[in-house]
Amino acid sequence: MISLTAINDLLFDSFETHRVLVVAPLRVARDTWPEELGKWEHLSDLQFSVAVGTEAERKAALGKQADIHIINRENVQWLIEDSGVPWQWDMVVIDELSSFKSHQSKRFRSLMRVRPKVRRIVGLTGTPSSNGLMDLWAEFRLLDMGRRLGRFIGQYRADYFVSDKRNGQVIFSYKPLPGAEKRIYAKIADITISMKSADHLTMPELVNSEYSVLLSDGERERYEEMKRDLILQLPDGEITVANAAALSGKLCQMANGAVYSDDGKTSYIHDRKLDALEDIIEAASGKPLLVAYWFKHDLERVSARLKARHIPFAKLDTAESIRGWNKGEVPVALIHPASVGHGLNLQSGGRHLVWFGLTWSLELYQQTVARLWRQGQQAETVVVQHIVAKDTIDERILKSLSEKDSTQSALIEAVKANL
Quick: pLDDT tens for 63-103.
999 999 999 999 999 999 999 999 999 999 999 898 899 89
- In this prediction, what percent of the chain has a pLDDT beyond 90? 53
What pLDDT is stored for residue 264 in this prediction? 79
Chain centroid to CA 133: how far? 18
Mean per-residue pLDDT of the chain:
87
The band of 250, judged by pLDDT with boundaries at 50, 70 and 90, is confident
Which tops the pLDDT comparison, 292 or 134?
292
What pLDDT is stored for residue 419 in this prediction? 47
What pLDDT is stored for residue 193 in this prediction? 86
* All domains of the chain in start order, with CATH: 2-196 (3.40.50.10810), 205-418 (3.40.50.300)
CB-based contact 94:123 (threshold 8 Å):
yes
Whether the predicted model's global pTM rises above the 0.85 cut: no
Main-chain phi, psi angles of 259, to 5 degrees: -150, 145
**Nearest one of 301, 309, 196, 203 to 253, comparing CA atoms:** 301
Given a cut of 90, whether residue 149 has pLDDT beyond it is yes
Q: For Cα atoms 290, 291, 292, give the angle at the middle one, nearest 5 degrees.
A: 120
What pLDDT is stored for residue 408 in this prediction? 46
Rounded Cα distance, 55 and 51, in Å: 9
What are the helix (H) ranges across 315-405? 319-326, 337-340, 362-369, 393-402
Least confident of 177-191, 242-256, 277-291: 242-256
Given a cut of 80, whether residue 33 has pLDDT beyond it is yes
Q: pLDDT per residue over 325-353, tens digit each? A: 999 999 999 999 988 755 678 888 899 99
Burial of 45: CB neighbours in 10 Å, binned 0-12, 13-18, 19+:
exposed
Given a cut of 50, whether residue 251 has pLDDT beyond it is yes
Angle (deg, nearest 10), helices 217-229 and 244-256: 170
Least confident of 64-73, 282-291, 340-349, 360-369: 340-349
CB-based contact 241:254 (threshold 8 Å):
no
